[in-house]
Amino acid sequence: MNILDLFETTNPYEVKLYRPYIIAEAGVNHEGSMETARRLIDEAKEGGANAIKFQTYKADTLASKNSPAYWDITKEPTKSQHELFSKHDKFWKAEMVQLKEYCDQVDIEFMSTPFDIESAKFLNELMRVYKISSSDLTNKPFIDFLCGFKKPIILSTGASDLWEIQQAVSWIEAHGNPLALLHCVLNYPTDDEDANLGMILGLKQAFPDKIIGYSDHTLPHDMKVCEMATLLGSVIIEKHFTHDKSLPGNDHYHAMDKADLSLFRKNLEHTFSILGNFKVEALPKEQPARIHARRSLVATMDLPAGTTISHEHLTFKRPAHGISPRNIDEVLGKKTRIPIEEDSVLQWSMFDE
**pLDDT tens digits, one per residue of 145-202:** 999 999 999 999 999 999 999 999 999 999 999 999 999 999 989 999 999 999 999 9
Interacting residues of 128 by C-beta distance below 8 A, sequence separation 6+:
2, 3, 4, 109, 151, 152
> Do residues 26 and 241 lie in contact, with contact meaning Cβ atoms separated by under 8 Å?
yes
State the average pLDDT over residues 125-146: 98
The sign one gets for the Cα dihedral 330, 333, 336, 341 is: positive
- Segment 330-349 mean pLDDT: 98
Confidence of residue 124 (pLDDT cuts 50, 70, 90): very high
| Burial label, 186 (beta-carbon count in 10 A; 0-12, 13-18, 19+) | middle
Same-domain pairing of 67 and 39: yes
Residue 15: pLDDT band by 50, 70, 90 thresholds?
very low
The domain boundary, picked from 253, 275, 297, lies at: 275
CA dist 299 and 341 (Å) reads 7
Let me know whether 269 and 289 are in one domain: no
**How confident is the model at residue 80, as a pLDDT?**
78
CATH number where 304 lies: 3.90.1210.10
- For residue 295, the enclosing domain spans 284-350
Q: Are residues 125 and 152 in the same domain?
A: yes
Same domain? For 136 and 174 the reply is yes
- How far apart CA 234 and CA 256 sit, in angstroms, is 18
Are 131 and 188 within one domain? yes
207 shares its domain with 301: no
Q: Which residues contact 94 (CB under 8 A, 6 or more apart)?
A: none
Number of separate domains in the chain:
2
Same domain, 271 and 322: no
pTM of structure: 0.87
Cβ-based neighbours of 183, under 8 Å, separated by 6 or more? 157, 196, 197, 199, 200, 203, 212, 213, 214, 215, 229, 234
